[in-house]
Amino acid sequence: MPSSLPTSLLDVESQPGKPPMLRVEATADAATWVGEQREALRAVVAGRGSVLVRGLELRDAAEFGAVLQQLATAPMAEKEAFAPRQAYSEGVYSSSTWPPNQPMCMHHELSYRLEFPGLMVFACLGAPTAGGATAVADSPTVLEALPTELTERFEREGWLLTRSYNDEIGASLAEAFGTEDRGAIEDYCRANAIEFEWQGDGGLRTRQRRSAVVRHPVTGRRCWFNQIAFLNEWTMAPEVREYLVDVYGADGLPFNTRFGEGDPIGEDVVQQINKVYDDCTAREPWQTGDLLFVDNIRTAHSREPFEGPREVLVAMAGAVHLNDCSPTVEVTAG
């Protein structure tokens, strides 16, 4: 692992279409290095929105956990997951279970919660043979590139996430809420401004309204911060969407998004958002041992389709509350 890191942002490599990168020589243990260079890393992430560190040669989940402890930022446990993850240790998770041939388009992690991570950390323990990059996109740039009429509507109304929990697809109640106890789930929903309705078959449907545009709590910059396109039905592969609608009905999809006042979001709007994301995407193929830091509010991330085994671990840290980000729509928790 590297023994030192220049603290100047000028030492970070910047290439068009690629995330900021720091190349270091492996001479010591990764956790020790991160601890020594913690402030320099924070400065890079604050200035650039993300940074890929190459050369640390991370080997396993335990080493990644030790790296997290050196960041002096408490890890967050995931709540309201939309897809299963494996937990390795406190704050250390596998990537979300998602078909390798399907992309996970740009999004901000847990942006539908009232409390979400300010920092995402990814560690590549095994790079795929092809594809699979965790790409990034600058949120203020995305906001500026989207049509003003569209962003103004989302600022007025916010966005609405609808979810249907069952035992067959997506995250289970236990995976999403940490319990199957109805009373505990209802208490959580009330405390987190989530409308809920139990179904006759024991399933649960929820609705939650959130701001689509927020201000970064440190810089004050306006950011397009949501999962409007990622969790929308029109981002699904056509054959997947058709199957799910056929089996569960249009209102029973595991997740979907709408305008904040309930109107459906058309396929053209989703394509427009994803096109802007594509235009703003920076990507670098993973190499085994890489470490990626992402400011979760300023920077969206994605996971591209891949071939071959891929092992990327993830951690969430630096909890931020929506109320500290100047939300544009009022959310009242019970």
Q: Going along the chain, which residue ranges are E strands?
A: 21-23, 50-54, 87-89, 92-94, 104-107, 115-126, 130-131, 136-138, 159-165, 195-198, 204-210, 213-215, 222-224, 255-259, 281-282, 291-295, 299-303, 306-307, 311-321
| 88-102, 115-129, 180-194: segment of lowest average pLDDT | 88-102
* Dist. CA 268–CA 236, nearest whole Å: 14
Q: Is 197 helix (H, G, I), strand (E, B) or coil?
A: strand
Q: Read off the pLDDT of each residue in 281-300 and give the average, rounded to a whole number.
A: 97
**Res 331: pLDDT:** 87
Chain centroid offset of residue 331 CA: 21
Structure tokens at 164: 């249907």
Q: Read off the pLDDT of each residue in 145-169 and give the average, rounded to a whole number.
A: 94
87 phi/psi in degrees, rounded to 5: -95, 125
Planar angle of CA 311, 312, 315, nearest 5 degrees: 145
Does pLDDT of 263 surpass 90?
yes
How do residues 322-332 score in pLDDT, each as one tens digit?
Answer: 999 999 999 88
Does pLDDT of 227 surpass 60?
yes
320 phi/psi in degrees, rounded to 5: -125, 140
How do residues 7-60 score in pLDDT, each as one tens digit?
Answer: 444 478 999 999 999 998 766 688 998 998 899 999 999 999 999 999 998 989
289 φψ region: left (φ > 0), alpha (ψ -120 to 50), beta (else)? left
The residues, any chain, with a CB within 8 Å of residue 222's CB and separated by 6 or more, are 140, 143, 213, 214, 215
Q: pLDDT > 70: what percent of the chain?
A: 96
**Res 8: pLDDT:** 44
| Global confidence as pTM | 0.93
Residue type at position 94? S
Structure tokens at 323: 């109320």
Q: pLDDT > 90: what percent of the chain?
A: 76
Does pLDDT of 173 surpass 50?
yes
